[in-house]
Amino acid sequence: METEGGNGVKSLKGVVGQICQICGDKVGTTASGELFVACDVCGFPVCRPCYEYERKDGNQCCPQCKTRYKRFKGSPAVHGDLEEDLPAIDGNNELNFSSGSHGDLQSTTQRLLGWHRTTGSLGDDIEGPSYNKEVPLSRVAYLTNGREASGEFSAASPDRFSMGSHGVGGVKSNPAREYGSSGLGNIAWKERVDGWKRQDKNIVPMSTVEGPSEDKGGDIDANTDILMDDTSLNDEARQPLSRKVSISSSRINPYRMVIVLRLIILGVFFHYRITNPVTNAYALWLLSVICEIWFAISWILDQFPKWTPVNRETYLDRLAIRYDREGEPSQLAAVDIFVSTVDPLKEPPLVTANTVLSILAVDYPVDKVSCYVSDDGASLLTFEALSETAEFSKKWVPFCKKYCIEPRAPEFYFSQKIDYLKGKVETSFVKDRRSMKREYEEFKVRINALVAKAQKIPEEGWIMQDGTPWPGNNTRDHPGMIQIFLGHSGGTEGEASELPRLVYISREKRPGFQHHKKAGAMNALVRVSAVLTNGPFLLNLDCDHYINNSMALREAMCFLMDPNLGKYVCYVQFPQRFDGIDKNDRYANRNTVFFDINLRGLDGIQGPVYVGTGCVFNRTALYGYEPPHKPKSKKAQVLSSCFGRKKNRSSKSSKKGSEKKSIKEMDPTVPIYNLDDIEEGIEGAGFDEEKSLLMSRMDLEKRFGQSSVFVESTLWENGGVPSYMDPDNLLKEAIHVISCGYEDKTDWGSEIGWIYGSVTEDILTGFKMHARGWRSIYCMPKRPAFKGSAPINLSDRLNQVLRWALGSVEILFSRHCPIWYGYGGRLKWLERFAYVNTTIYPITSIPLLIYCTLPAVCLLTGKFIIPQITNLASIWFISLFCLIFATGILEMRWSGVGIDEWWRNEQFWVIGGVSAHLFAVFQGLLKVLAGIDTNFTVTSKASDEEGDFSELYMFKWTTLLVPPTTLLIINILGMVAGISSAINSGYQSVGPLFGKLFFALWVVLHLYPFLKGLMGRQNRTPTIVVVWSILLASIFSLLWVRIDPFIRPVTGPDVQQCGINC
């Protein structure tokens, strides 16, 4: 055949050769001598065996252009073949597997191959098209020193929408040879063909893996609710790194039925309560009805986000096969790990050291892990303790990896009361363990010596070992400090080269600047890590939360590096687990109901809320960018996959501009940090290209701050630091980005990073990400990923709850309140319900306090909030109580939470509600109305080393103890008064007394753990609590006797009716 110009057609040999790009064998020819062409659209070279395999067991489509393979004559029919496929193929197109000469191809094939060609002739290198990249970034060049940032993607991360590796200049590669690339011949194809050739019977067939259903519109995999085109399902989607497992219908369906039934009965209950007022106790009745309506609203907001709970499974073996093959360089993504600390006296250095040691010993490639320790108190004690930790890690980390021990925090490893020889076969283990335990005990003594020395501060301030004054002697006025202990430019060669990087950071602080407490420290860590290592993923841990499962990072990567799911995930949240809590968990420190029920419910919607620690972030999401938009239709997805990169630029720009304009018009409060904005700059406004790029850079610096190195790093999604950057210059830039004035007039804290405006910055930060359309993942591995400490003392626990509640109240009165913020975004309604519940729950303390006071009032006055009920009404009341208990029982059934844990949660909900939550509401109102700020109190992280739970019985005075104690006293007094009155009144008053006593007993039982906490180990209540409580109870009783609204004043007889002798 001839081309349109009349010239003969060049053979494909001049284009891509005769090698199959999947298995590496020769492509072969047809019976007519022509080169076999599996795809008549793009001509991607595939041999006949790979073609047959792909049609039978694969996706039945071309790996390059995703066009469905047509059926050749002689090929067996497969499901989905069209009737017209067979006649459309030339009957002579049979294969000859010899290596003979090849015939010419049709001119149409040659023309179709030209659409994805780069520069040069047909014989030049061909760069494969990049599919599904949401935004081309080739024009965001020359941000630093005139060097161009690469737009290529590495195998360490799936296709996303921002910059890739840190190569310099335009990178051209042979996609057929780079199996890790996102284009042609990727690693998944190589794995498929290798497995097919081996015919390994031990490998589970890919068809048996639970995957997407073609009949349901192309659900991308079982992990996500995002719809994509079926033709994009490649081998990686058929072998997902994780799987979403729904709760069995036998457990979840009865639970849902009870919720619906309870909602119906609740409506009947309120109809009866509102239509049957108590005339002789109208005020009490009205208060009770208002409280009950609020409780019902609160229950709905809390209950319905738990409608679709899910579990998740991860496949670490598949992750290793895909990204971490033995004998090959690891392609796992780099992770920067943040540890934050403030006060070394409340957060002991030994606790922080154990956390750092567990990080350094994590089961992850050494060159992919960097640990950043933020010392917001600029303490020399923390600095020297970290130096000692770095030295000890050179012995501890090799020991952990040699014997695969768990956990890898030495304090908790050596304190385990288990058979540590179980599963150990190395004869040297006992000797090495004994030696390492001795080394750790010596390390503890050195840390204790540092702590003892730090108790008394010298008048002239601390002096470092080299004789220079410690820069942080004034904790409120000091420069920024960075010290690299391990890794590049730190430590010694040899030993240190096998350890992850360890960096000490203390950001600059000056008077007159707002530093934003923990949120500001975390944002400083984000910037300095971007300059020094720039890992695409971040893990943040409190200083007392050590890594309990050395595979935790790999667990998170099963979601974040999943090619289908990962690009939509903003963070992976792990549950918090705690050590050192008493067996009965008196004050619900484990929070099991929240972590095992509520967050699993949210994972079935848009993902769990961020809880402040144990969370692996996608750095791109923290930078305020939006996730890729869900494809609208299958047809559009196919077209965009094949021809999206070659559309007319003007039409593309106008379409994107109109879309962005419409989105921003919907809700101006939701930032559209689309990388399209960066690429286009101010194109179309009459400026030339150079000015457009300059304005684009100015826009980036306005968002991220005046650091060209950091701004450039935000465009590299796959992380890494440019090789041309000098380490000394990087350190100078790192010091610059942690200066106290760096965030001025930028979007830090408002749209980027951790969000300011609340002491619970975690809730606010997660909410902003979900409002942009990101989803989060809840990962619950069998072995807890992280463990920490919790305050077991009653006063410390109440102060912790007070801080959380105060943060929620601050969000409630801010512009970021989920009741009115972000309706133009992509936040799902049930997810919004959950966020609304997290912000208004402190308000429940007011009706709860009133409701807990009503039983005592009813017993003292003889009145009641419910009129005398009929038999039918009693059935509705009993049904409602039964459904309340049934809801809790079925929740425990599907979640696995024990009844004791559920009951402890119910008790502390009342204890915290009438104390900490109540104070939080008033403090929040004072802050909003009068501008009176409250001090941030760091929760004590001291561990219970002696194991006798002495902290549990220690009494610490706080005003939070007064309201619950007062409620206990007046309800107990009311019960005594009610029983005495019933005895004096006779048998007929026992019936009405029963309801009142049940009501009061409900309050006392919920406050029982609080009562035990007041008694302490010696069962003795502190005098000051007794005095205050009796005083308040007496005042309340006297006022009630003096002003009784339910007794009419007696004015004497009516003389006109009765006469003078009445």
pLDDT grade for 923, boundaries at 50, 70 and 90 = confident
pLDDT of residue 875: 87
The length of the chain in residues reads 1062
Share above pLDDT 70 across residues of the chain, in percent, rounded to a whole number? 68
Return d(Cα 635, Cα 231) in angstroms, integer.
10
Bigger pLDDT: 1053 vs 187: 1053
The residue whose two tokens read 């457009």 is: 692
Interval 758-782: pLDDT, tens? 888 889 999 999 999 999 999 999 9
Sequential DSSP letters for 680-749: HTTTTSS--HHHHHHHHHHHHHHHH-S-HHHHHHTTBTT----TTS-HHHHHHHHHHHTSTTTTTTSSBT
Structure tokens at 394: 């050179």
Per residue in 1017-1047, pLDDT tens? 544 555 556 666 666 666 666 555 555 554 5
Residue 910 pLDDT exceeds 50: yes
Q: Indicate if the pLDDT at residue 430 is higher than 80.
A: yes
Asked if the model's pLDDT at residue 68 lies above 90, the reply is no
Question: CB neighbours (10 Å) of residue 420?
Answer: 15
* Cβ contacts of 496 within 8 Å, gap of 6 or more: 394, 486, 487, 490
At 826, list the tokens. Answer: 């992509």
pLDDT of 1060 higher than 90:
no
Q: Is the pLDDT of residue 748 over 70?
A: yes
State mean pLDDT over 511-521: 88
Give the per-residue pLDDT at 694: 56
Look at residue 957 in the predicted model and tell me its pLDDT. Answer: 72
Q: Is 313 helix (H, G, I), strand (E, B) or coil?
A: strand
Per-residue pLDDT, 309: 93
Mean pLDDT along residues 69-79: 76
Q: Which residue has the higher pLDDT, 124 or 337?
A: 337
For residue 174, give every residue at least 6 positions away whose Cβ sits within 8 Å of its Cβ, in sequence order, or none: 125, 126
Give the model confidence (pLDDT) of 881-907 as tens digits: 899 999 999 999 999 898 988 999 999
Instruction: Give the tokens for residue 244.
Output: 């979403």
Query: In Å, what is the CA distance from 97 to each residue of 25, 56, 583, 869?
Result: 11, 20, 72, 91
Quick one: pLDDT at residue 783?
93
Residue 724: pLDDT over 80: no
Predicted confidence (pLDDT) per residue in 212-266, tens digit: 333 333 343 444 444 444 443 345 445 788 888 888 999 999 999 999 999 999 9
Quick one: how far is CA 1027 from the chain centroid? 46
Most confident range, picked from 226-240, 359-373, 412-426, 574-588: 359-373
Q: Is 532 helix (H, G, I), strand (E, B) or coil?
A: helix
Q: Which residues pair with 777 in a beta bridge?
A: 572
Tell me: the pLDDT tens digits for 783-800? 999 999 888 778 888 888
Q: How far, CA to CA in Å, does 989 sit from each of 53, 747, 874, 1025?
A: 85, 67, 18, 35
How far apart CA 774 and CA 826 sit, in angstroms, is 8
**pTM of this prediction?**
0.71
pLDDT at 506 over 90: yes
Higher pLDDT, 422 or 969: 969
How would residue 188 be classed by pLDDT, with cut points 50, 70 and 90?
very low
Q: Which of the pair, 685 or 875, is modelled with greater confidence?
A: 875
Q: Using CA of residue 752, residue 758, residue 762, residue 766, what is the dihedral sign? A: negative
**Residue 525 in this model has a pLDDT that exceeds 50:** yes
- At residue 47 the predicted structure's pLDDT band, cuts being 50, 70 and 90, is confident
CA distance linking residue 348 with residue 352, whole number of Å: 7
User: 397 or 991: whose pLDDT is higher?
Assistant: 397
798: which 2 tokens?
């109440």
Residue 374 main-chain phi, psi, to 5 deg: -95, 120
Q: Which residue has the higher pLDDT, 65 or 196?
A: 65
Grouping H, G, I as helix, E, B as strand and the rest as coil, residue 984 is: helix
Residues 412, 437: Cα–Cα separation, whole Å: 12
Would the pLDDT of 343 be above 70?
Answer: yes
What's the helix, strand, coil split of the chain in %, to 5?
45, 10, 45
Which residues have a Cβ under 8 Å from the Cβ of 766 and sit 6 or more positions away? 570, 571, 609, 610, 776
CA atoms of 512 and 1, how far apart (whole Å): 80
Q: Which helix (H) or strand (E) holds 637?
A: helix 634-643
Q: Are 508 and 738 in contact (CB under 8 A)?
A: yes
Tell me what the mean pLDDT of segment 459-487 comes to: 86
pLDDT for the residue 168: 30
Q: Which residues are catalytic?
A: 376, 762
Of the candidates 112, 125, 123, 121, the residue with the CA atom closest to the CA atom of residue 170: 125
Mean pLDDT to the nearest integer, 349-356: 94
pLDDT of residue 222: 43
pLDDT at 575 over 90: yes
Which of 141-155, 198-212, 803-817, 977-991 is least confident? 141-155
Confidence of residue 693 (pLDDT cuts 50, 70, 90): low
**Nearest Cα to 813, choosing from 847, 840, 849?**
840
Q: Which residue has the tokens 């009349």?
A: 6
Q: What is the mean pLDDT of residues 683-687?
A: 40
Which region among 286-295, 568-577, 743-752 has the lowest average model confidence (pLDDT)? Answer: 743-752
Residue 484, classified by CB atoms within 10 Å of its CB into exposed (0-12), middle (13-18) or buried (19+), is buried
Residue 394 · residue 439 · CB < 8 Å: no
| Residue-wise pLDDT tens digits, 307-327 | 999 999 999 988 988 888 888
407 and 374 Cβ atoms separated by less than 8 Å? no
| Predicted confidence (pLDDT) at residue 399 exceeds the cutoff of 80 | yes
Q: Residues 527-568: pLDDT tens digits? A: 999 999 999 999 999 999 999 999 999 999 999 998 888 889
The tokens of 953 are what? Answer: 């019985």
Average pLDDT of the chain to the nearest whole number: 74
Judge contact between 750 and 623, C-beta under 8 A. Answer: no
CA 676, 681, 685, 687 dihedral sign is: negative
The number of CA neighbours under 13 Å toward the Cβ of 671 is 19
Q: What's the distance, Cα to Cα, between the start and end of the chain in Å?
A: 129
Q: Which residue has the higher pLDDT, 506 or 681?
A: 506
Average pLDDT over residues 821-829: 85
In the prediction, which pLDDT does 589 show? 85
**Rg (alpha carbons) of the chain, rounded to whole number:** 34
Three state DSSP letters for 1018-1058: CCCCCHHHHHHHHHHHHHHHHHHHHCCCCCCCCCCCCHHHH
Q: Is the pLDDT of residue 346 over 80?
A: yes
The lowest-confidence range among 96-105, 146-155, 285-294 is 146-155
Residue 654: its pLDDT value, please? 42
pLDDT tens sequence across 111-159: 323 333 333 333 333 333 333 333 333 332 222 333 333 333 333 333 3
pLDDT at 59 over 60: yes
**Three-class DSSP labels, 242-262:** EEEEECCHHHHHHHHHHHHHH
